[in-house]
A and B are shown apart, each in its own frame.
Chain A
Amino acid sequence: MPEKRSFFIITLGIIILGIASSGFGYDLEKRVQSYTLKNGLKILMVERHLSPTVSFYIRHRVGAVDESDGKTGAAHLLEHMMFKGTKTIGAKNYRKEQRILDRIFKTGNEIDLITRKATDADRKRLEFLKNRLETLQKEHKTLFIENEIDRLYTENGADDSNASTGQDLTTYNVSLPSNKIELWARIESDRMVNPVFRDFYTERSVVMEERKQRIDSDPEGQLFERFFAAAFMCHPYRRPIIGWAYDIRYLDPQYLLTLFKRYHAPNNTVIAIVGDIDHASTLKIVQKYFGHIPPQDTGMPFVTEEPSQKGERRIQIESDANPHVLIGYHKPAMPSFDDYVFDVIDSILSRGRTSRLYKTLVEEKGIAESINTINGMPGSRYPNLFVISAKPRHPHTDAELESAIYEELEKIKTSRVLERELEKTKNQLKADFIRNLDSNRGLANMLSYFEILTGDYRYITNHVNVIERVSSDDIMRVATRYLTRDNRTVANLMKKK
């Protein structure tokens, strides 16, 4: 068995289903080089030389869904902490630093515990601890250099150096001039093993500000947050990615470390590298820096399955804003065939000026200011929602708009979609695929996303072929099955009186 002895499992462009897409004169699978290191790290590479730059995407299969209850926001705060340097980046004397960090965390934990109990009895102790924490933090500052990761990337010309956390995934992405590949490998491999959680408590405050900005000061943020909380009763998709304010306030470094160790492991990671590279030498660098990182037992994440809905759910959010309605239907996740059908329904309903909801509600009836549909919220790893988001145009009401939406949904359940309409939608989805290839960043994003989520990036290269098979009967069947009153959650944003 040569595969077992070899260090890499190499998949060199196997083209089984790439026929339909070849009509566009571009066969992505031929260009993607796929490798798996012995520790389970998956690497996808595409060489292209228009610009002397490279885009890197690292994706870990861990997100808000993997947090324990009471620890919401941990995956996201962890992502913030990953910018604080490592044992060798930013450290002046790591051994000394480690000792002081232990004391900082111990003090912080005690403060959190007392604050959480919220009794006056411990006030004196609390004062004492706060002073101690401040002193320790001051001392700690002398032992490290702040923001070294960002400094290294920025001064080497990085573009779009960023990270993101979702329900399903955590992503670290950056683009660099093509002579700086080793810098990326040096930084990223190090933080995959040796991150140091410096300035933890300050960063926790920053995230609380982030929550204030994204949710508490933004009516739309509040609407979406409460909408998901209502649509899911048991599945973790009910919880906000950024975390509930109460949870964020008491997140602790120990829990973050557990999450980190378990899931930021090579066998739970996909890396995509796209741009002005040479496969062989890039792979050599990746091997040198990432090859030694040990795999971890990520366990089998058993997540509570959402029971069937059994009746419409409705909630109202009062805020200083104009009406906005969200309607969500439970549906299966990819790669279920029905999820592909929803991709088509999504397009038919709201893509472009000729789509059904836009044409009828915005253009003809004039009752909507805007209308959108989104397939796959708030995540895609588990069964999720097909969401319709609409804003009425004054003086029309959200109730009026809602019933007009249901009328349109009835139409796709009861009468066949026209051939031309279906063909238009398929043309658009094919063109989307090609447009996504147009930038290094877009391509690295897409490849790594589908590889980590479905286990094979060819989900996306094959997407158009499956879409091609979706018929008007499929659309009627899926619409009839899922777009029902019993299966929906409705959230209304109302003006506070």
Chain B
Amino acid sequence: MISRILPLILASVLLLIPCLGSATDNTHVLRNPDELKYEYLHFTPPSAERIVLENGIVLYFFRDDELPLLNVSVVLKAGSMFDPERKEGLAELTATVMRTGGTKKMSGDIVDDVLEFIAGTLTASVNKEYASFGLSILTHHTDHALDILSQIIMNPAFEEHKLTRARDLKIEELRRIADDPMRFAFKEFNRLIYNDNPRGRSPLISTVRGITRDDLLQFHKKFFHPGNMMIAVSGNITKEQVLITFRKYFGTWNVPRADRNIPPPLPVMPAGGIYFLKKDIPQSIIISGQLAPSKKNPDSFSFEVLDFIVGSGGFRSRIFNEIRDKMGLAYSTGSFYRARGDYGVFGTYAMTRAESTATVLARISGVLNDIRSKSVEKNEIEWAKKSIINNFIFSFVSAEHIARQQLMIEHEKLPEHYLINYRDSISSVTAKKIEGVASRYVLPVEKSVVLIMGNSDAYQQAVSSFGNVQVIEGKL
């Protein structure tokens, strides 16, 4: 062990009060934290390099040599909103069985064996908009792992027995969904908020049961081609290596561009109302929601500030402050604003004991009415803007974040300089703009979609306070 005195620090130490057995009151020496001075932090968002392979695949690349790791993320417009009617669950099963069901060169079992032996991880996941495959490996296995990844993407075998297993597991997952009240509630909320839009579709036991290997092959053929795909690459690799490796494994893929997939129509605003889903739990789950500006809409910046103030800005945001802090009626509560390239959803949530269901919903309604009808004070806006702007650098904390973030900008067809201009856009939000978006977009609770999940006591309250309550059955 090397021990030595740090002369620099010792000097300042001598001025300090020696340690005593009892608590020392140092309050008189502490400066007001608001008066602390900080050095200016210059930050230019780091930029991933955009590379286009000869067959049209777009790659975003960011190098970081600190650790011998490589992360690859393949994103395709093949999300669950492209599930054909009565085949809900197809996008997800396709991605899952691509991962597990082998390729034309290797069986599924061998793929698993090889990947796990080299301690690589390869995940397949699907959300409403896109399918995504994430590979993480130690760099000295790059060639081997990318060979497998490319086969999985381009030439999956969809082994029948792996499909059977994946289907069985999905059915069991759906059978069990009501065991997790929160998950169940959000699933049902999504169905209500997206209404008849394809985004509102979700797998049911009956639709999953009807999915065949042929359906998977068709779905793969339609959505998996170079023009529909982007890749983010980050880690311990040079640009030359990226070019060589990705050309080698993905560059020869030249399937004729299948049907141009037409994006589903934008969601239509569903009819508002209170929906009740019965579940015998001591706490009610209350979710309200409505459509909101898309990311492409310039109003989205003002709306983001509005949402921060209403309920996503932590302890100081209004819903949290009212329902948790002042009333002590919930542990989890707040608002959310999920904006995508083409649309957005804004909503609120709270989990509260059954007996305060009506009180909490009334308070949420009050907060929403306030934001619609009263102007927001300058301090509150400045606090929200400052918070969002100062937090911006956390979108760039790792090479993986940086590459993936930029990929998503292009994927959602946002302006090229979206990130560069982001802070200025937030900065330019004013009280007037917030008033504008509040009156244009925010609906009173009774016109939004409200889902309450809870016991019969919660139901009685909902009925006596709001009158018209529609009881729904959760779909499995």
Contact A287 B13, beta carbon cutoff 8 Å: yes
Check if A155 sits within 8 Å of B2, measured CB to CB.
no
- For window 127-171 of A, CB contacts with B under 8 Å fall at 146-147, 150-152, 154-159, 161
Q: Which residues of B contact A391 (CB under 8 A)?
A: 172, 176
Q: Is B1 an interface residue (CB 8 A)?
A: yes
Question: Are the C-beta atoms of B328 and A206 separated by less than 8 Å?
Answer: yes
In whole angstroms, how far apart are the Cα atoms of A259 and B225 in the complex?
A: 61
Task: From B146-154, B361-369, B394-402, give the one contacting chain A.
Answer: B394-402
- Pick the contact of A38 from B8, B19, B352 — CB < 8 Å? B19
**Residue B321 interfacial (CB < 8 Å):** yes
- Please tell me if the beta carbons of B38 and A182 are within 8 angstroms of each other in the complex: yes
A420→B313 CA distance, assembly (Å): 50
Of A26, A199, A294, the residue contacting B20 (CB under 8 A) is A294
Q: Once the chains bind, are B119 and A427 in contact (CB under 8 Å)?
A: yes
> Is the pair A89, B33 in contact by a Cβ cutoff of 8 Å?
yes
- Asked whether B470 is an interface residue with its Cβ less than 8 Å from the other chain, the reply is no
Question: Which of A65-73, A173-181, A227-235, A477-485 contacts its partner?
Answer: A173-181
Please, which residues of chain A bring their CB within 8 A of the CB of B220?
none
Contact A14 B280 (CB under 8 A): no
Determine the distance from Cα of A194 to Cα of B23 in the docked complex, in whole angstroms.
9
Whether the pair B138, A431 counts as a contact (CB closer than 8 A) is yes
- Interface residue total, chain B, C-beta cutoff 8 A: 94
Nearest neighbor of A261 in chain B, beta-carbon distance: B23
Contact flag A213-B69 (CB < 8 Å), given A178-B41, A183-B33, A439-B397:
no
> How many Å lie between the Cα of A186 and that of B38 in the bound state?
13
B262 CB–A CB distance under 8 Å = no
C-alpha spacing A207/B178, complex, angstroms: 24
Q: Tell me the smallest distance from the CB of A454 to a CB of chain B, in Å.
A: 18
A473 interface residue, CB < 8 Å from B? no
> For A83, what are the chain B residues with a Cβ–Cβ distance below 8 Å?
315
Task: Tell which of A44-52, A105-113, A373-381 binds the partner.
Answer: A44-52
Closest Cβ of chain B: how far from A345's Cβ, in Å? Answer: 16
Of B294-302, B337-345, B385-393, B430-438, the one contacting chain A is B385-393
In the complex, how many angstroms separate the beta carbon of B310 from the nearest chain A beta carbon? 15
CA–CA, A168 and B21, complex, Å: 26
Q: A420 CA to B117 CA in the complex, in Å? A: 8
Quick check: B383 and A292 within 8 Å, CB to CB?
Answer: no
- Choose among B19, B179, B282, B383 the residue that contacts A220 (Cβ–Cβ < 8 A): B179
CB distance from A457 to the nearest CB of B (A): 15
Known: A154-B316, A206-B324, A213-B332. A320 touches B24 (CB 8 A): no
Interface pair B68/A50, CB less than 8 Å apart: no
The reply on B4 being an interface residue by CB < 8 A is yes
A253 to B370 Cα, complex, angstroms:
36
Judge if B245 is at the interface, Cβ distance under 8 Å. Answer: no
Q: Which of A147, A201, A213, A287 contacts B321 (CB 8 A)?
A: A147
A199 to chain B, nearest CB (A): 7
What residues on A are CB-neighbors of B16 within 8 Å?
A: 287-288, 291-292
A284 in contact with B24 (CB, 8 Å) = no
Is B8 in contact with A157, judged by CB distance below 8 angstroms?
A: no
B163-199 interface code vs A (CB 8 A; 1 in, 0 out): 0010011001101101111000000000000000000
B16, B178, B393 pick with most chain A CB within 10 angstroms: B393
B420 interface residue, CB < 8 Å from A?
no
Q: Which of A53, A180, A294 contacts B397 (CB 8 A)?
A: A53
Instruction: List A contacts of B26 (CB < 8 A).
Output: 193, 292
Please report which residues of chain A, range 190-228, place their CB below 8 angstroms from some CB of chain B when the two chains form the complex: 190, 193-194, 199, 201-207, 209-210, 212-213, 216-220
Task: Check: B100 CB closer than 8 A to any chain A CB.
Answer: yes
Is the C-beta of A352 less than 8 angstroms from some C-beta in chain B? yes
Chain B CB count within 10 A is highest, among A2, A24, A48, A420, for A24
Bound: A280/B8 CA distance, A: 8
A209 in contact with B8 (CB, 8 Å): no
Nearest 8 Cβ contacts at the A-B interface: A157-B390, A205-B328, A431-B119, A210-B331, A150-B315, A202-B328, A321-B179, A147-B315
Residues of B within 8 A of A (CB): 1-6, 8-10, 12-13, 16-17, 19-27, 30-34, 36, 38-41, 43, 64, 66-69, 100, 112-113, 116-119, 136, 138, 165, 168-169, 172-173, 175-176, 178-181, 279-283, 313-316, 321, 324-332, 351-353, 383, 386-387, 389-394, 396-400
Known: A7-B6, A154-B314, A157-B387. 11 other contacts (CB 8 A): A88-B32, A154-B315, A201-B328, A205-B328, A206-B328, A217-B351, A280-B8, A287-B9, A292-B17, A294-B24, A432-B119
Contact surface of A with B, Cβ cutoff 8 Å: 2-3, 5-12, 14, 24-26, 38-39, 48, 50-53, 83, 87-89, 94, 146-147, 150-152, 154-159, 161, 175, 177-180, 182-183, 186-187, 190, 193-194, 199, 201-207, 209-210, 212-213, 216-220, 261, 280, 283-284, 287-288, 291-295, 320-322, 352-354, 362-363, 366, 369, 391, 393-394, 420, 423-424, 427-428, 430-432, 434-435, 437-440
